[in-house]
Homo-oligomer: A and B are copies of this chain.
Amino acid sequence: MQIALDAMGGDHGPEELIGGALLAVKQSSLQVTLVGNQQILQAHLDRLRSDDIGSSQIQIVHAAEVVEMGESPVDAIRKKKDSSVLVAFELVRQGLADAAVSAGNSGATMAAAVRKLGRMEHVSRPGIASIFPTLKKPVVMMDVGANVDCRPQHLFQFAVMASAFSHIFDIDRPRIGLLSIGEEVGKGNTLVKETYARLAASSLNFVGNVEGRDVFQGDVDVIVCDGFVGNICLKLSEGLAGAAMQMLKDEIMKSTAAKIGYFLARPAFRAFARRVDYAEYGGAPLLGVNGIGIICHGKSSAEAIKNAILEAAKMVEKQVNQRIIEGLAANAQDEELVI
């Protein structure tokens, strides 16, 4: 299997990204194509590659341009035809790669995926799914930012797509929750109430509304919401996890005993930090396009990039897109009934 990696995007530069690619090929039989400036990438690769990695496992495809983090996604994708992110998705389009991964400008990655791969049939709006850590299994939330104003059919399609994606965790019949402000039917805003009826009438494994406090309990596999709410949840969680650790450390620094305690418990703190670090779970797939694309945090470490590459491969292996097509087809009739 061949994964194209935009090796120029991201806050840490090509070195970290190539490091991630090397970690991925070392622990799998995957092949990774690094996309970007040939000369720069080759120089890093020569330095980083160990002898046990065959030349067939890592190759470079040249792309002359780079979309910068601050650029307007739409403009960048229109003007920089030879940018690493567009070339990576062009490889997927041509069947030369099975999936593309980028830690560059998120908007540009999304725009490149939609432009090169096109929307899937029956999908009104592609969306971004994100994996949240919970007390039990990870939960998939969708949409987390691609679509800020949604209609019920969009949320319904997110449910189908996120369920298909959750198969990468070997979940057979994913339990779907609708994010709302009360568990009872009838709770929520107009969008949620209308979506509830549609989900309840479908063949999906819809378990009802879930509240904000349920997100981290892990009692559902998929949480559906519009991209405005989902994006706020995602960033609020990141912000709170960081702020909570900071507050706890502030308290610990107030006493010597607590400082010693912290020193002794440090491995546990590190393990905890990894557990709540979103980057550890790989990246956020853009679902609803004819191909596989994963959007990573700009700040992704080599470890996070490795996880995103393995996640992309898992999506291919688990036939996520085929499941989406089947899921949408199976519910096309229900949808008509509920509209």
Contacts and interface: CB of A to CB of B under 8 A. Distances in A.
A84 interface: no
Given A148-B188, A251-B268, A213 B235 contact: yes
A236 B237 contact: yes
Interface stretch (A32-40, A167-175, A259-267, A304-312): A259-267
Contacts of A217: 239, 243
B232 A247 contact: no
A220 interface: no
A228 B193 CA distance: 12
Interface stretch (A22-30, A41-49, A57-65, A270-278): A270-278
3 nearest interchain CB pairs? A261-B264, A212-B235, A261-B265
Nearest to A225: B232
A168 B163 CA distance: 46
Contact of A181 (B231, B244, B264): B231
A190 interface: yes
A254 interface: yes
A212 B228 contact: no
A252 B268 contact: yes
Given A233-B232, A236-B237, A265 B268 contact: no
Nearest to A252: B268
Interface residues of A, number: 62
Contacts of A216: 239-240, 242-244
B268 A255 contact: yes
Contacts of A134: 243
Given A251-B275, A255-B268, A272-B251, A232 B212 contact: yes
Number of copies of this protein chain within its complex: 2
Interface of A: 133-135, 145, 148-149, 179-181, 188-190, 192, 211-217, 226-229, 231-244, 246-248, 251-252, 254-255, 257-269, 271-272, 275-276
A98 B192 CA distance: 38
Contacts of A259: 265
B231 A229 contact: no
B215 A246 contact: no
28 contacts: A133-B247, A145-B181, A148-B181, A148-B188, A211-B235, A212-B232, A213-B239, A214-B239, A215-B236, A216-B240, A216-B243, A217-B239, A229-B229, A229-B232, A232-B233, A236-B237, A237-B240, A247-B272, A251-B271, A255-B267, A255-B268, A257-B264, A258-B267, A260-B264, A261-B261, A261-B264, A264-B264, A265-B265
B189 A246 contact: no
The residue in A133, A149, A190, A213 that gathers the most chain B C-beta atoms within 10 A of its C-beta is A213
A190 B265 contact: no
Nearest to A150: B189
Nearest to A246: B135
B257 A238 contact: no
Given A212-B236, A248-B269, 7 more contacts: A133-B247, A213-B236, A233-B236, A248-B268, A251-B271, A258-B264, A261-B262
B258 A268 contact: yes
A134 B240 CA distance: 9
A255 B238 CA distance: 27
